[in-house]
Amino acid sequence: MIKINNKNYDFKFGFKAMLKFEESTGQSISSLSGDFKLSNIVEMTYAGLVNNDLTKDEIIDAIDADMSLMSTLTSAFEKDMSAMNSIEEEAKK
């Protein structure tokens, strides 16, 4: 759950969102650590919103109005990516 413009949104940056991100940007998820762009935050947020009724411009405006939202979003990405990495490690065993 993330809060944007005083409204809570279901957010999950899981496999489906990763696919949406890769399709919309042409970037692989694994390439993000070496070449992270600010636009990736917007694309990742947009891809991770479960019931998306926000536009990318609204996401940008919300971040612009409250820069601490970037920290909230990156924490949510890290949490979901960490969970995905744990699943991948378990699958290798």
* Contact predicate 10/51, CB 8 Å: yes
What is the per-residue pLDDT across 19-46, written as a single tens digit (0 to 9) for each? Answer: 999 999 998 887 777 667 889 899 999 9
Q: For residue 74, what are the domain limits?
A: 2-92
Q: Which helix (H) or strand (E) element contains residue 3?
A: strand 2-4
Token pair for 7: 């409204």
| Per-residue CA distances from 30 to 25, 33, 44, 46, 62 (Å) | 13, 7, 13, 18, 27
**Amino acid 89: pLDDT:** 58
**Amino acid 91: pLDDT:** 55
**Amino acid 82: pLDDT:** 74
| Overall pTM > 0.75 | yes
**Number of domains observed in the structure of the chain:** 1
* Contact predicate 41/74, CB 8 Å: yes
